[in-house]
Structure 1
Amino acid sequence: MSALKLMRCSSCPRLRASIGIGSVRHAASKPRHDYDLVVLGGGSAGLACAKEAADCGARVLCFDFVKPSPAGTRWGIGGTCVNVGCIPKKLMHQASLLGEAVHEAVAYGWNVNDQDLRPDWRKLVRSVQNHIKSVNWVTRVDLRDKKVEYVNSLGAFLDPHTIEYATRSGLERRQVTAEHVVVAVGGRPRYPDIPGAVELGITSDDIFSYEREPGRTLVVGAGYVGLECACFLKGLGYEPTVMVRSIVLRGFDRQMSELLAAMMAERGVPFLGTTIPRSVERQADGRLLVRYHNTATGADGSDVFDTVLWAIGRRGLVEDLHLPAAGVRTHGDKIVVDAAEATSVPHIFAVGDIVYGRPELTPVAILAGRLLARRLFAGATQLMDYADVATTVFTPLEYSCVGMSEETAIELRGADNIEVLHGYYKPTEFFIPQKSVRHCYLKAVAEISGDQKILGLHYIGPVAGEVIQGFAAALKSGLTVKTLLSTVGIHPTTAEEFTRLSITKRSGRDPTPASCCS
């Protein structure tokens, strides 16, 4: 066992006994409950917490159950990220980029016959689903190896310490008790309350296993899920249209969000701005007639699509948990927790997307789950730090950021106390295929005085997530403008552009470079 793991789990019952420092529970004593920990939910947060707790000697039971989507889609253990989120999304994003790269290869001298270059949607879906099924299998094996008991059933509270569930046959209900309970059931996509929405539309729960080609698709919603789906559909040769109720990428930096939308429009993705859907009707030819209303002009309109994909947000899955029976307080469809992830009932905790007011991101859920398990069963004290969490929108030019948006920094510190260094740049690999560099842009939001501590970094360009991940650690460590600009960049990369920022917005100078080396 590594020194780190020995230090972290030195108070775990199993480890303490093995290294001769005693056991938390006397061998002759009988546990008060069936399990030390019951986890409700087998997604990123729940699995991370369950496995970490088991590593520390706790007796752990994990419940997981997936209700089919209205379109009939269901999946195995692993939660949203593995089955209908981050993983299949990134794979389809990659498929889209590969198609673009094949066209670019011609400019680089490759002899590519692109007359019939088009994707096989069904083959792509099969490949994605085969990978997901392999991850489901590995997850099951990992739980078994770590001695985490797994029940494929929907667990619900009977009282604060008792969980009730149906057996596999559904003919019998059983009960277990737990010293601690962690709720990590996540969420599912919302549907608008309009005629035809549920019966005729699909969501991100369905698109990654969709058996027929999506064709001309209306994507309703302009959050990161909607924009990502629209972009990989466009890259695969389909014709998406994005319907925007108000603004794109609410909650992100406004300038960067608008640049991203402009990039999509330049690539041929149309937007229906300030528009909401009214109804969806199936026509005689099987296509979908969507009626909609422009809230700014008051005009009504309609159009016909092959597929309608709802991406209007997600709801927490609290309705089946019987939380009132346990006394757990909620805020709408989310659970309220304190800094230690404890709910209004001290021995009941919640982690992941079900928590009110926390970032709905897989890495956040995983780390929060692990840290919680260590506090419960390894004597640790470290709390999850939800500040300065990096994230990426996987569009053709990706947008990645960490820290504050420009608007948030100005709101919290005042415009006179904020300096924004920014610049456009030209990726070297874009020159030969003559790809547009119009929207390749980055900026650093910093304090104006002292060492100019950096409060936020924002980047639109190739492999943005890979670029920002390293800078995220630097920002968490107190990165300053002086340190950033004294760092020698790796040439020719796009990441080095952060080390060359020299123009401030305040100066009014043109942030467009003359060449890749200017």
Structure 2
Amino acid sequence: MSYDFDLFVIGAGSGGIAAARRAAEYGAKVGISEFNRLGGTCVNRGCVPKKLMVYASHFPDNFKAASGYGWTVGETSFNWEKMITAVNNEVTRLNGIYQKMLDNSQVKLFNGYAQLIDSHTIAIGEEKVTADKILIAVGGKPTKPDTITGIEHAMTSDDIFHLQKQPKRIVIIGGGYIGVEFACILNGLGSEVTQVIRGDKILKGFDEDIREEIQTAMQHKGIRIITNCDCDHMKIEPIETGLQITIKSLDNHEEIIVADAVSLAATGRIPNLENLGLENTKVEVVKGAIAVGEKSQTAEANIYAIGDCTDRINLTPVAIKEGRAFADHFYGDKSYRMSYDNVPTAVFSSPEACTVGLTETEARERYGEAVKVYRSKFRPMYYTLPDLPEKTLMKLIVDTNTDKVVGAHMVGDDAAEIIQGVAIAVNMGATKADFDATVAIHPSSAEEFVTMR
């Protein structure tokens, strides 16, 4: 049977565009649809604008440190509108680059919401096209818990990039990495931040030392973290001076906080499957996500899915790698290579954290008493002259049966830049002896990873 396209990709985020371009490079005729701006969550409402805001939030600490090095920094002020305009201008520039990449790859873009009519037919508005293979890469979206009274007055992480005025007082509900990052960003920019979490620590699922180190540092920087809260039964009410948030603890203690804005960024994200037409195919949805097999194949033989809509590891580089692995295999006649082991991830909090491999708890569950942990905590050289209390934590987790490093964790400046290199070693199966045999770069913080005893 003849089709309009060899491959049609639904969703032009990072993963979808990566798959479309790679397939086109192999000679496939490719179409792609997107109802929003090109680049998906990462470029428009996530990684890129958020990281730019992280940079902006670091300047007050930099000004403070400068005096220790002989610099006199005069009166400073922050202009939210100027910053947010610059961030969004950069996003617009990146949208244009993505458009050029699609054009150069001869991938045909359809602007509009795509819906599956059957296993080979896609409708984009009034237009219908057919494809031999279909790749779903529609990503995810933030959710608001409907158990909270007045939830309609709250915003999500998507909204914060378009605020015209800086919130002077903000309550962030949830202790996931998105909530933690925005708490640190807004605190650094001068907002009064209160973070409300269910448990006793932020960043559930991360190594315990990382959780403790970041939470303590956030509190020292002035972020108020309210723990052990019944986040499902809060109340948000508009009042003359902003929003009134009623918070209940698990032991029924009640507290009222007044704020300008509430961000619910960390209460969860879900696959963006609404009105996709999956019911017109054999594609299965399990626990709100598209169910896929080893090679991203759904229950429908010719339909595949990658990225956050499959709810495996919801990271942009994972979606990109999944998309390229799909295209390499089906259009480049290469073996499908995608591993979910030892995927590094970063939290761009203040201080920054990055991790790869197993947490200490996971390692002990797997290897028992064979686990040996190496830790180093110190004040980096940068902070000695300004005499600031900033600390860096580094941690290696080793399976002594094999001497392999099965986990590496760091909290401190440039953690993501440093762990990226360490992740290569961990992924290759490097041993503690390999780390020890590596000559250190001195003076640097990174040298601690090869000098720990």
Q: Shorter-chain TM-score: what band? A: over 0.9
Partners of 2:384 and 2:392 lie apart in 1 by 13
Q: Deviations over 1:381-440 (max 9, x none)?
A: 1321111011111112111110111111111222x1111111212210010111214x42
Partner of 1:17: none
* Counterpart pick for 1:364 among 306, 318, 323: 318
Alignment of 1:396 with 2:350, yes or no, is yes
Structure 1 residue 212, shift from structure 2 partner: 1.3
Alignment of 1:447 with 2:417, yes or no, is no
Runs of 5+ unmatched residues, structure 1: 1-30, 67-75, 167-172, 503-518
* Counterpart pick for 2:160 among 200, 207, 224: 207
Alignment of 1:107 with 2:76, yes or no, is no
* Counterpart pick for 1:464 among 415, 418, 423: 415
Aligned residues: 448
The answer to whether the Cα contact below 8 Å between 2:405 and 2:430 also exists between their aligned partners in 1 is yes
Structure 1 residue 332, shift from structure 2 partner: 2.2
Q: What secondary structure, in the 3-state scheme, does the structure 2 residue paired with 1:202 have?
A: coil
Alignment of 1:352 with 2:307, yes or no, is yes
Structure 1 residue 449, shift from structure 2 partner: 2.8
1:22-41 alignment, distance < 5 Å: 32-41=2-11
Tell me the TM-score normalized by structure 1: 0.85
Q: What secondary structure, in the 3-state scheme, does the structure 2 residue paired with 1:473 have?
A: helix
* Counterpart pick for 2:273 among 311, 318, 336: 318
Partners of 1:79 and 1:43 lie apart in 2 by 4
2:385 maps to amino acid? I
Q: Deviations over 1:64-109 (max 9, x none)?
A: 113xxxxxxxxx2110000110001110111111221122112211
Partners of 1:214 and 1:50 lie apart in 2 by 40
The answer to whether the Cα contact below 8 Å between 1:219 and 1:308 also exists between their aligned partners in 2 is yes
Partner of 2:119: 160
Partner of 2:367: 413
The answer to whether the Cα contact below 8 Å between 2:110 and 2:124 also exists between their aligned partners in 1 is no
Partner of 2:203: 249
Structure 1 residue 178, shift from structure 2 partner: 0.7
Structure 1 residue 118, shift from structure 2 partner: 2.4
1:11-22 alignment, distance < 5 Å: none
Alignment of 1:175 with 2:128, yes or no, is yes
Alignment of 1:145 with 2:104, yes or no, is yes
Partner of 1:269: 223
The answer to whether the Cα contact below 8 Å between 2:342 and 2:356 also exists between their aligned partners in 1 is yes
Partners of 1:138 and 1:376 lie apart in 2 by 26
Partners of 1:53 and 1:485 lie apart in 2 by 42
Partner of 1:493: 444
Q: CA RMSD in A?
A: 1.2
Q: Report sequence identity in percent.
A: 35
The answer to whether the Cα contact below 8 Å between 1:102 and 1:112 also exists between their aligned partners in 2 is yes
Partners of 1:375 and 1:35 lie apart in 2 by 18
Structure 1 residue 140, shift from structure 2 partner: 0.9
The answer to whether the Cα contact below 8 Å between 1:425 and 1:497 also exists between their aligned partners in 2 is no
Alignment of 1:432 with 2:385, yes or no, is yes
Q: Deviations over 1:293-346 (max 9, x none)?
A: 101x22122111001000211011112111121110111221111111111112
Partners of 1:412 and 1:355 lie apart in 2 by 26
1:111 maps to amino acid? T
Alignment of 1:307 with 2:266, yes or no, is no
Structure 1 residue 195, shift from structure 2 partner: 2.4
Structure 1 residue 214, shift from structure 2 partner: 1.4
1:281 maps to amino acid? E
Runs of 5+ unmatched residues, structure 2: none
